[in-house]
């Protein structure tokens, strides 16, 4: 199975605890909404799908963090997730978590790693 990198954004587009960047990723032959954020200096990618009800998390496009810039928060019912692991840390997502998406930062840019299903 081949693996490819696709550009998401420039590294400078992601502030720590700031706005994320939305993109789509191929999963099981379908394109799914996803996002990338920076936290603790590192980049983390997840499917844009709450573990409570499968809806997108951001309250405005690209706004995933709570006011303290500490947790990723679902705009619908307030579930909060650890940005570094995707694990639910409170709210109706309890016991669940976000689905990670492989992203990598290199050469001042951020890429998603996808596996082709050819």
**Which residues bind to ligand FES, rule: CB under 6 A?**
50, 52-53, 55, 74, 76-79, 91-93
For ligand FES, the closer of residues 13 and 82 by Cβ is: 82
Minimum distance from residue 111 beta carbon to ligand FES (Å): 28
Residue 59 or 117: the one with the smaller Cβ distance to ligand FES is 59
Residue with tokens 């990198």: 5
For residue 12, give the 3-state DSSP assignment.
helix
CB of 80 to ligand FES, least distance (A): 9
Q: Which is nearer to ligand FES, 82 or 105 (CB)?
A: 82
* Residue 73 beta carbon to ligand FES: minimum distance, rounded to whole angstroms: 9
Q: Which is nearer to ligand FES, 6 or 77 (CB)?
A: 77
* Minimum CB distance to ligand FES, residue 51 (Å): 7
């Amino acid at each position: 199975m081949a693996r490819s990198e696709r550009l998401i954004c420039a590294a400078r587009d992601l502030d720590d605890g700031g706005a994320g960047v939305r993109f789509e990723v191929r999963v099981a032959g379908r394109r799914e909404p996803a996002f990338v954020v920076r936290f603790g200096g590192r980049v983390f990618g997840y499917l844009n799908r709450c573990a409570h009800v499968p809806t997108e998390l951001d309250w405005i496009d690209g706004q995933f963090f709570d006011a303290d810039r500490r947790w990723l928060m679902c705009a619908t019912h307030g579930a909060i997730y650890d940005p570094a692991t995707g694990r639910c840390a409170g709210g109706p997502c309890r016991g669940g978590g976000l689905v990670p998406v492989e992203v990598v930062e290199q050469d001042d840019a951020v890429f998603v790693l996808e596996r082709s299903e050819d």
